[in-house]
């Protein structure tokens, strides 16, 4: 269920983000390197988890992310909300934009090793 909801949300955000969200994202304070990594890995985990759910061969080579990836995603977004003061819509726009960037640049597979290290380091 996580993968369907997350993928649908990311797809909706990357195809048409509400004007208020985009404005809010542009006004958000600069993110720390750690927060940028949280956004990047949250987006990567959502994309890979969705790919695993639909049987994408490239996504299936990674560890199953349904449970751990979901928990990482939830905790990371809560932390980002606290750090930036953005609401769910604003944070979703950040993650959606990063998911689109990873997809367009073909970098999802490239960031996964570092993201898996971050996931292991989180204790989840």
Cα–Cα distance list, 99 to 15, 32, 92 (Å): 11, 18, 10
Higher-confidence residue of 45 and 18: namely: 45
Would you place residue 54 in the very low, low, confident or very high pLDDT band (cuts 50, 70, 90)? very high
Q: How large is the average pLDDT for residues 42-56? A: 92
Question: What are the domain boundaries of the chain?
Answer: 2-121
Average pLDDT over residues 85-111: 90
Report DSSP letters for 22-40, one per residue: HHHHHHSPPPPHHHHHHHH
pLDDT at 124: 66
Q: CA-to-CA distance for 22 and 102, rounded, in angstroms?
A: 18
Return phi, psi of residue 11, to 5°: -65, -45
Mean pLDDT of 104-121: 92
Between CA 56 and CA 59 the distance in angstroms is 5
């Amino acid at each position: 269920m996580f993968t369907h909801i997350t993928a649908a949300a990311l797809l909706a955000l990357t195809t048409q983000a509400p004007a208020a969200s985009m404005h809010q994202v542009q006004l958000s304070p600069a993110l720390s390197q750690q927060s940028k990594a949280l956004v990047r890995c949250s987006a990567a985990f959502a994309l890979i988890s969705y790919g695993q759910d639909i049987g994408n061969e490239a996504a299936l080579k990674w560890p199953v992310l349904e449970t751990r990836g979901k928990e990482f995603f939830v905790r990371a977004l809560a932390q980002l909300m606290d750090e930036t003061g953005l609401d769910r819509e604003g944070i979703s726009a950040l993650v959606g934009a990063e998911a689109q960037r990873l997809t367009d640049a073909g970098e999802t597979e490239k960031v996964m090793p570092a993201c898996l290290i971050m996931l292991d380091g989180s204790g989840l």
